[in-house]
């Protein structure tokens, strides 16, 4: 398909055909043939035509898209008129308003946990690293496994009796910050990006801020469907919530979720071993009457996705 013309003195004309057919002649210098140049021009023109067509059709497709199909009844929006009074955290007063507590969620992935502890303990804005320990038995001691701890930050293992996903929102004892960053052990985020999220959260500290947006829409059967992936936000330009596998929230919501939310919600989370992020998002939205904040950062890596995929704690 792609031919080259031979340029070398002392060669026969037949060598031109050899170079055009194979594209390689040892010890010779070849230049693109007229056939190759013509094919290249056609390819460039076709690519430009596709780009122009996409630029023309995309706005029309976005304009026609609707979260409610035309044959479905439009649901009445249920929005709180005003913010609710959130039950307050039962522990000590805030000691460090300029820091946040990192709550790590991990389950039988020791290498990821050790790497997460070592990395996030280096972040200046982190007051302490709290690990939800639900693997049964006692966590390793510092003497037994120093790699589970840090010399620069407090690392504390909070033992829970089961592997319920509700445990990630347990109102931990001794929280010294009002800001809590809920993070799965397979999320890698640079310290400076966490500082950006913290700054965003502090603008509206009773709301939630996170890295992973999600959207819900009605499908053709008029049932709600959960759209995943960052492409959803890029395509639709909207989101409904942010996932709690990497989100910052006020410590008061831990108290609210565990001790004051309808128990049937937590029972459903245990039954399906999922949806705890939806429950917390709805809880915060009902309390604030505002959407969550979203921070886009390509530097945040989810090891549960793509080539580096590892088994996640919960789907999202």
Write the CATH number for 158. Answer: 3.90.550.10
Q: What pLDDT shows up at residue 221? A: 86
Q: 229-271: per-residue pLDDT in tens?
A: 656 677 778 888 999 999 999 999 999 999 999 999 999 999 9
Exposed / middle / buried, residue 14 (Cβ in 10 Å: 0-12, 13-18, 19+) = exposed
Instruction: State the Rg of the chain over Cα.
Output: 28
284 in a structural domain: yes
Q: In this predicted structure, what is the pLDDT of residue 37?
A: 63
Residue 159 lies in a domain: yes
pLDDT reading at 197 higher than 90:
yes
pLDDT band at 9 (very low <50, low <70, confident <90, very high): very low
Q: Of the given ranges (38-47, 55-64, 78-87), which has the lowest mean pLDDT?
A: 55-64
- Most trustworthy range by pLDDT among 7-21, 57-71, 80-94: 80-94
Is 27 contained in some domain?
Answer: no
Task: State residue 59's pLDDT score.
Answer: 39
Is there a domain that residue 247 lies in? yes
Whether residue 220 has pLDDT greater than 70: yes
Identify the pLDDT of residue 21: 43
Which pLDDT score, from 0 to 100, does residue 60 have?
35
**Could you tell me the pTM of the whole model?**
0.74
Query: Is there a domain that residue 71 lies in?
Result: no
Residue 57 pLDDT more than 50? Answer: no
Q: Tell the burial category of 77 from Cβ atoms under 10 Å away from its Cβ (0-12, 13-18, 19+).
A: exposed
Q: Specify if 95 maps to a domain.
A: no
Query: DSSP letter string over 62-113?
Result: HHH--SS-TTSPPPPP---SSPPPPPPPSSPPPS-TT-EEEEEE-SS-HHHH
Annotation says 277 is catalytic: yes
Residue 167 maps to a domain: yes
Asked if 69 contacts 238 with a C-beta cutoff of 8 angstroms, the reply is no
What is the per-residue pLDDT across 149-179, written as a single tens digit (0 to 9) for each?
A: 999 999 999 999 999 999 999 999 999 999 9
Strands 293-294 and 209-210: parallel
Which of 6-10, 44-48, 267-271: highest mean pLDDT?
267-271
Higher pLDDT, 237 or 57: 237
Catalytic residue among 16, 252, 277, 302: 277
Q: Containing domain of residue 212, as a range?
A: 100-308
The answer to whether residue 73 sits within a structural domain is: no
Q: Which range has the top average pLDDT, 82-86, 160-164, 172-176, 310-314?
A: 172-176
Provide, rounded to the nearest whole percent, the portion of the chain with pLDDT above 90. 56
Task: Tally the domains of the chain.
Answer: 1
């Amino acid at each position: 398909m792609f031919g080259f013309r031979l340029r070398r003195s002392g060669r026969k004309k037949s060598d031109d055909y050899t170079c055009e057919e194979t594209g390689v002649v040892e010890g010779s210098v070849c230049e693109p043939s007229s056939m190759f140049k013509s094919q290249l021009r056609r390819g460039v023109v076709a690519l430009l035509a596709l780009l122009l067509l996409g630029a023309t059709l995309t706005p029309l497709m976005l304009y026609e898209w609707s979260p409610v199909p035309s044959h479905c009844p439009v649901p009445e929006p249920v929005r709180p008129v005003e913010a609710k009074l959130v039950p307050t955290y039962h522990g000590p007063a805030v000691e460090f308003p300029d820091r946040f507590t990192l709550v790590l969620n991990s389950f039988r992935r020791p290498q990821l946990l050790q790497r997460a502890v070592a990395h996030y303990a280096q972040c200046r804005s982190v007051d302490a690293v709290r690990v939800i320990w639900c693997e049964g038995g006692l966590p390793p001691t510092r003497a037994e496994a120093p790699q589970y701890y840090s010399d620069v930050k407090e690392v504390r293992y909070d033992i829970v009796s089961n592997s319920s996903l509700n445990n990630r929102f347990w109102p931990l004892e001794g929280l010294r910050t009002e800001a809590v960053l809920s993070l799965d052990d397979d999320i890698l985020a640079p310290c400076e990006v966490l500082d950006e999220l913290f700054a965003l959260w502090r603008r509206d500290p009773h709301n939630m801020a996170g890295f992973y947006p999600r959207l819900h829409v009605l499908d053709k059967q008029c049932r709600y469907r959960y759209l995943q992936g960052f492409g959803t936000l890029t395509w639709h330009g909207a989101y409904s919530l942010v996932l709690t596998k990497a989100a910052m929230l006020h410590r008061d919501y831990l108290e609210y979720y565990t001790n004051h939310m309808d128990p049937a919600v937590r029972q459903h989370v245990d039954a399906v071993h999922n949806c705890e992020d939806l429950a917390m998002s709805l809880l915060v939205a009902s309390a604030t009457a505002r959407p969550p904040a979203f921070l886009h950062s390509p530097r945040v890596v989810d090891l549960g996705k793509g080539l580096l995929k590892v088994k996640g704690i919960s789907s999202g």
